[in-house]
Amino acid sequence: MDPAVIAQLLEINTRFYHDFGEAFAATRRRIQPGVRSVLATIPEHGSWLDLGCGSGALGREWAASGRTGSYLGLDFSEPLLREARKVTAGASGSRLSVRYAFADLMDPAWGDAFPAQSYDGVMAFASLHHIPGRENQRRFFSAVYRLLRPGGKLILSVWQFQNSAKLMERVLPWETVGLQETDVEPGDTLLDWRYALSGQQSRTGIRYVHLFSAESLQHLASAAGFSLTAQFYSDGAEGNLALYQIFQR
C-alpha cells in the first residue's frame, strides 16, 4: 500500500479517537463477553501488556478480580487514557500494579521501549484491525513475539462486522475520503459511527477498520513464530461480532 494512503487511514482514526474519545469511552464501560471468557482461562498472577487498552474497562476488571502482578495498558488516544486512569484510580497496591502509557502501534519502534521477553501475556482486543497495511500487521506480530517470554500468550480479537446487517449499512465508499477501492487492500473498510453524549448534538465520525478472516490472522501470527492454541467467536447480539484467537510463543 502507498505510504501516503496508510498515513491517510491512520489520520482518519487519529481524528476519530481525538474528536469522539469521550463519547466512545461512554460506550465501552463494560468488557465484552469474549474478553470475560478469556479472563476465566488465564493465570491470576503474571505480567501482562494490553495493547489498545481504551478507556480502562479491562484494567478495572483486572484489579477487581483480585489478580496479582502487573497490568500495563497502552493506547494512542489521550482522551481514552485519561478515562482509563480515572476509572482505575487507586487500583494499584502491594500485589498489583496497574499503569497506562501512550504508545502508537504504528511506530516501528514502539516495542523497543520494553526489554525482550518481559511479559507473560499480551492482549490486543479490537485494536489490530485499526493497523493498515500487511507489512505493518506483520511488524505488530513480530514486536509482540519479542516481548513475550517463552510459552507466553498472545490473546487478540478483531471485529467481524460483516456478521451485522446494521453495521454493514454503515460501510462508506472510499470516495468519501477521496480514495478509490484500488488504493487500499482487500478487507480494508470505512465505517461511520454515530453517538452523542447527554446534552450534546449527535455527530457522525468515520473509522478505518480492516476485516480479518480467521485464516489471514493465523497466517500472520504463524509467520512470526506463534502457534494457535484456541479460537472462538463471541460478542454482539448473535455472538459472532468478534473473532478471538489465542496464540503461544
Q: What's the pLDDT score for residue 202?
A: 63
Tell me, what CATH number does 121's domain have?
Answer: 3.40.50.150
Q: Is the pLDDT of residue 78 over 60?
A: yes
* Three cell numbers, residue 172: 462508506
Q: What's the pLDDT score for residue 90?
A: 87
Give the helix ranges, DSSP H, for the chain. Answer: 3-19, 21-26, 33-39, 57-64, 78-87, 134-147, 165-168, 214-224
User: What pLDDT digit, counting tens, does each position of 202-216 carry?
Assistant: 677 899 999 999 999
Q: What's the pLDDT score for residue 126?
A: 92
DSSP-derived secondary structure for 122-155:
EEEES-GGG--SHHHHHHHHHHHHHHEEEEEEEE
| Nearest Cα residue to 210 out of 156, 145, 153 | 156
Q: Is the pLDDT of residue 18 over 80?
A: no
Distances (CA, A) of 64 to 72, 88, 182, 195, 203: 15, 10, 47, 29, 34
Give the list of residues 6+ apart from residue 141 with CB closer than 8 angstroms, or none.
154, 220, 221, 223, 224, 226
Total domains in the chain come to 1
| Contact criterion met (CB below 8 Å) for 33 and 125 | no
pLDDT band of 199, cuts 50, 70, 90 = low
* Three cell numbers, residue 247: 496464540
Query: Of 19-33, 44-58, 62-76, which gets the smallest average pLDDT?
Result: 19-33
Q: Is the pLDDT of residue 57 over 70?
A: yes
Q: What is the mean pLDDT of the chain?
A: 91
pLDDT band of 17, cuts 50, 70, 90 = confident
Q: What's the pLDDT score for residue 197?
A: 58
Domain ranges, residue 43: 3-248
Q: Is the pLDDT of residue 200 over 80?
A: no
Q: What's the pLDDT score for residue 151?
A: 96
| Contact criterion met (CB below 8 Å) for 83 and 57 | no
Name the pTM for this structure: 0.91
31 vs 232 pLDDT, higher one: 232
User: What pLDDT digit, counting tens, does each position of 81-131 carry?
Assistant: 998 999 999 888 889 999 999 999 999 899 999 999 999 999 999 999 999
Average pLDDT over residues 65-69: 92
